[in-house]
Every structure is written in C-alpha cells, then in structure tokens.
Chains A and B, each alone.
Chain A
C-alpha cells in the first residue's frame, strides 16, 4: 500500500 502523500482521487 503506497503511503501516498495525499489523496489525489475525489
């Protein structure tokens, strides 16, 4: 699970 910086989906 990529620990993404922020959520880019709506």
Chain B
C-alpha cells in the first residue's frame, strides 16, 4: 500500500458516500444516471467475487464490502425507493453497447483464461467506461447539480491517483499490470473534459453547465 493508492481509495469511497448521501438526504436522484450506477454495481460484483476466498487484509475486505453495499444501496434507492425522481428520459445511454464489447474484450485480452480472471478483467474494462451514461446524461441535460459534480470529481480523481500509484509501484516494486493501467488511463481520459469544466466553473462557485 502507498499513499497514492490510499488517497485513491479514499477518494473513491468519498465519491460513493457523496452520491448515496445526496440521494438519501434530498430524497431525489435527479441528474444521476441509474445506468452508470448499475454498471458500477456490476463492476464491484464481478471484481470482488474473491472476497471470501482470497483474504488480503482487513482493509481490503472491508472496503470491498463497503463498495458492494453502497453501490447496491444506490441502485436500490434510484430504482425503487426514489424511483419517481429518476430522470429516465435523459438516462438513455444503451448499456449493452458497453457490456457486450467489454465482455468480448475480456475473453480475448486477459492475464489468465480462468473464470475469476476473466470476470476481474471484465470489471476492469467495464469500470473504464461505466461513467459514460452519466457523462452522456449531463451532456443531454446541459448541466449538473453542484453535489453531482463533486461526486464526479472525486470519482475521476480516484483512478487518476491509481495511475500515480502504478507509476510508484513500477519504480519501487517493479510491479505493473498493463490491463489495469491501460483501462485506468482510458477511464481517466474520459473525465478530462469534465475536470476542465469543474476547475474552471464549479471551483469558482458557478453552476456546472455544458456549452449547449
């Protein structure tokens, strides 16, 4: 464990908590893409199947459980409890356009052709593109609530910090995982446009609006 990975995990945890609290306290999931949340729940489910077979540390197991519980709780709030506030008209990205190619790629490019490893690879590739429905929804509505932009900033920062962690691990341990690195770079690049808007607008107290 290194400081970059720890900060990355905490940023990821912060993002998940921000979103869950936003939905719970405002009793509304307006502006949030339910499809992205379903994809994130799928990412954690396919990645953490080894939760009970591979014990790495209390921290690792605890975080996996928290991520799983929070992501399913978010999906539940969006599609059941606060379903009336879910903006399905703007959340129209076709999830199958992501899941099918990612599933195929996981079969073709992986470290080990075993079920657990293919599912792990699937989760890595899927996580890289899981935010697309959310970014697509914001581009359609042309704006995002400030709390939602903070959620996206924390979520985008997590994988950016992981990239720094991978550079650090490469130079200190000689460790690198090309699949995670390539997917992590793609994932972070998808946020660049949003990062620019967040820094130039939200941090100046303005509403996050996309140029129509």
**Least distance between A4 CB and chain B CB atoms (Å):** 8
Cβ–Cβ contact A6 & B177, under 8 A: no
**In the bound complex, CA of A4 to CA of B60 (Å):** 17
A6-B176 in contact (CB<8A): no
B interface, over-half SS: helix
A9 to B5, CA, bound (A): 8
Interface range on chain A (Cβ under 8 Å from partner) = under 10
Q: Say yes or no for B26: interface residue by CB 8 A criterion.
A: no
A1 to chain B, nearest CB (A): 6
CB contacts (< 8 Å) of A10 on chain B: these are 9, 12, 60, 63-64, 67
B202 on interface, CB distance cutoff 8 Å: no
* Range class of the B interface residue count: 20 to 34
Chain A residues in 8 Å Cβ range of B64: 10
Whether B174 is near chain A, meaning CB under 8 Å from some CB there, is yes
A1 CA to B175 CA, complexed, in Å: 7
Q: Does B100 interact with chain A (Cβ within 8 Å)?
A: no
- Identify which of residues 30-57 in chain B touch chain A, using a CB-to-CB cut-off of 8 Å: 50, 54, 56
- Top 9 A-B pairs, shortest CB-CB distance: A6-B54, A8-B56, A10-B63, A2-B175, A10-B9, A1-B178, A7-B120, A6-B50, A1-B176
